[in-house]
C-alpha cells in the first residue's frame, strides 16, 4: 500500500452493511468506532480462548514488546 492510497481517507465516505442495512461512515469515524473496537474484541477473545485452553500467555504477550 502506498501513502497516496490512504492520504485524505479520514474524510472519505465508507458504506458498509450493519445489521443488514447500509451505514455510511467518514473514514476516521469508521476506523475509531468500527474497525478498532472489532480488532480489539477479536484479539482479546483469541487471547482468552488460548489462555482457557492452557496456552501459557501473560500480559506481556498481549501487550507486545515494549521498548
How confident is the model over 12-30, as pLDDT tens digits? 999 999 899 999 999 999 9
In a domain, residue 28? The reply is yes
Q: Cβ contacts of residue 28 below 8 Å, gap of 6+?
A: 10, 11
Question: Is residue 46 a contact partner of residue 52, using CB atoms and an 8 Å limit?
Answer: no
Q: Supply the range of the domain harboring residue 34.
A: 3-53
In a domain, residue 47? The reply is yes
Instruction: Report the distance separating Cα 50 and Cα 22, nearest Å.
Output: 34
In a domain, residue 60? The reply is no
In a domain, residue 61? The reply is no
In a domain, residue 26? The reply is yes
At 46, the pLDDT band (50, 70, 90 cuts) reads very high
Q: How many domains does the chain have?
A: 1
Amino acid at each position: 500500500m502506498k501513502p497516496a492510497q490512504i492520504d485524505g481517507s479520514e474524510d472519505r465516505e465508507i458504506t458498509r452493511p450493519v445489521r443488514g442495512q447500509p451505514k455510511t461512515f467518514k473514514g476516521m469515524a469508521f476506523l475509531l468506532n468500527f474497525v478498532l473496537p472489532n480488532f480489539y474484541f477479536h484479539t482479546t477473545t483469541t487471547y482468552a480462548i488460548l489462555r482457557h485452553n492452557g496456552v501459557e500467555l501473560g500480559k506481556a504477550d498481549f501487550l507486545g514488546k515494549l521498548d
